[in-house]
Structure 1
Amino acid sequence: MRLPFFTMMALLLAGTRADAQPNAAKAAPPVFIDELTWMEIRDRMLAGTKTAIIGTAGQEQKGPHMVTGEHKYVLTHTTERIARTLGDALVAPIITYVPEGSWEAPLRGHMAKAGSITLPEDRFIELLVHAAKSLRAGGFTTVILIGDSGGNQNGMKAAADQLNAAWKETGGRALFIGDYYTKSAEDIRAYLGKLGFPMEAIGSHAGMVDTSELLFVNPALVRRDRLAPSGGSPDSGVNGDPTKATAAFGKALVQIKIDNALAQIRALRATTGGF
């Protein structure tokens, strides 16, 4: 049955008005370099974006309840937030191959578990230096090094020292942001301690802290049916009690990392001529 003429016109006008309404908030432009074309990166640099963030994660066991890429997923979230807050930074692809021990027998630590991948310290430093020099050649004047794992910290500092020595008098700077990990680890323990959690629950690996952070940034990657204190067995790879983890805690803990990183970046920029 055909609709009356005036009914049809009313529907058409209503549809036109609806189409004319602005869409929901337009998605913010990407800050990850690998999500941009080279011309888009060039244009962002011409508009004042001269800082590149290199994040180092880790490909390592995270107990029976978390995926081995936990550090990468957390760092993807935090580096994006840091870059967007700074307003003049882009994020390089996350580096996941980092020092995790040796592949030679007897295997120890994370390397004793399937799926962990290690890189010798000297090769890790070399990788960082070459990545940073590549970004510098492309026009970035500042490279920020941030790591989400304890084993990455010394190598990142060494790489930053090498880069600053090589870039002396050229206007380039490398900033190692150790507070993201070291200061934050202390602040997180203090925060959870004040809430009444003992150190054996907080843990040092794949326990309450790591699990809370992943529950916040990507909960689908936590196997909730495998949560157990100390991972459920002596050889689980877990130190702490992941059953105490929540996404709400994860949100607070991730924010501690972001805030500490931003504070150190701003302080270092203020003492290096604004780079």
Structure 2
Amino acid sequence: MIAWRSLIFISAVFTLWSLALPPSLASPANASVFLEDQTWTELRDLIGAGTTTIIIPIGGTEQNGPAMALGKHNVRVKFLAAKIAARLGNALVAPVISYVPEGTVDPPTAHMKFPGTITISDKTFEQLLESAARSFKLHGFKTIVLIGDHGSYQADESHVADRLNAEWSKTPVRVFAALEYYRITQRAYVDKLLAAGAKRSEIGTHAGLADTSLMLAVDPSLVRKDRLARTPMLNAGDGVYGGDPARSSAELGQLGVDLIVNGTAEAIQGFVEKQPK
């Protein structure tokens, strides 16, 4: 009898404790950092409780050599954005933008020479980012962060941030083009790979050891491991630019994951701290 009374007491205490929690903590659904996973009322409550940073992850749909799937950038940026949001503690992640500038169609340039790559104009891309940012401003977000996994539109991110920040200068809302996210992949990550024994000739600029290792650390299902030992074609005809993915590994990729998550989170925190209170 005493045991049952104890259980009833503990259950009652737990129920009261749960009811006292803010909505963002009381509801298991809100454990997700993805905007898409929230209901509108859950989102309203999260914003009201101080989750006022939204990360817009930008990917791209393009060829990634014979060993990596077309959705590499989209899967990778969503994964890393979630890690960054969790590190920040007061941020959510918007749906991935997967349609980005990838070159021209007529004549086909850059990755558009390979089947599966999708492109839009820089103007359309910037309008898309602006519309998303205006939506988030309307709903109460104060810091709108752009992170891009692809090098072709880094300048576009800055253009959008500069225009909207000038327009919104008398409001508390700011847009941050977190270019550090991409810069890390081109500098600090490369240095880490070299220190770990990788050769500069292997690292490459696209679909080489650096790129492929990062994908293996994020989602190995998108990498065809049996195709990593490549037979190079003339003029990067197989879509691998300036590198060799044969020795790629998740362990090497994790070096990049840690650098990107920590470095980008710190950059976002620094930007927020500089804003007027």
Question: TM class, shorter-chain normalised?
Answer: 0.7 to 0.9
Letter in 1 for 2:45: D
Give the match for residue 134 of structure 1: 135
Matches within 5 A, 1:12-51: 29-51=31-53
SS at match of 2:205: coil
Please, what TM-score do these two structures have when normalized by structure 2?
0.86
Give the match for residue 6 of structure 1: none
Give the match for residue 258 of structure 2: 255
Give the match for residue 191 of structure 1: 192
Give the match for residue 177 of structure 1: 178
**After superposition, what is the alpha-carbon deviation per residue over 1:11-43, rounded to whole angstroms, capped at 9, x for unaligned?**
xxxxxxxxx9xxxxx887111111111111111
Percent of aligned pairs with the same residue? 39
How far has the Cα of 1:152 moved from its partner? 1.8
Greater CA deviation, 262-271 or 170-179?
262-271
1:207–1:238 contact (8 Å) kept in structure 2: yes
Cα distance in 2 for partners of 1:110, 1:265 equals: 31
Cα distance in 1 for partners of 2:44, 2:220 equals: 35
Matches within 5 A, 1:147-166: 147-166=148-167
Q: For structure 1, which runs of at least 5 residues remain unmatched after alignment? A: 1-19, 21-25
Give the match for residue 57 of structure 1: 59
Cα distance in 2 for partners of 1:253, 1:47 equals: 33
Change (3 A) 1:65 1:77: same
**After superposition, what is the alpha-carbon deviation per residue over 1:132-170, rounded to whole angstroms, capped at 9, x for unaligned?**
001111111110011011112100000101110121111
1:57–1:97 contact (8 Å) kept in structure 2: yes
Please, what TM-score do these two structures have when normalized by structure 1?
0.86
**After superposition, what is the alpha-carbon deviation per residue over 1:162-212, rounded to whole angstroms, capped at 9, x for unaligned?**
110121111110011111111441111111122232221000001111111
Superposed structure 1 runs of 4+ greater than 6 Å apart: none
Q: For structure 2, which runs of at least 5 residues remain unmatched after alignment? A: 1-10, 12-27
1:184–1:260 contact (8 Å) kept in structure 2: no
2:59–2:98 contact (8 Å) kept in structure 1: yes
Q: CA RMSD in A?
A: 2.0
Give the match for residue 69 of structure 1: 71
Change (3 A) 1:104 1:94: same
Cα distance in 2 for partners of 1:156, 1:176 equals: 6
Letter in 2 for 1:241: D
Cα distance in 1 for partners of 2:184, 2:225 equals: 29
Change (3 A) 1:183 1:217: closer
Which has the greater radius of gyration? Answer: 1
SS at match of 1:175: strand
Cα distance in 2 for partners of 1:34, 1:28 equals: 11
Cα distance in 1 for partners of 2:199, 2:193 equals: 8
Cα distance in 1 for partners of 2:215, 2:49 equals: 34
Give the match for residue 93 of structure 1: 95
How far has the Cα of 1:90 moved from its partner? 0.6
Give the match for residue 11 of structure 1: none
Cα distance in 2 for partners of 1:58, 1:208 equals: 20
1:143–1:175 contact (8 Å) kept in structure 2: yes
Matches within 5 A, 1:119-130: 119-130=120-131
Give the one of 224, 238, 242 matched to 2:245: 242
How far has the Cα of 1:273 moved from its partner? 2.8
**After superposition, what is the alpha-carbon deviation per residue over 1:47-81, rounded to whole angstroms, capped at 9, x for unaligned?**
11011101111111000111011011111111001
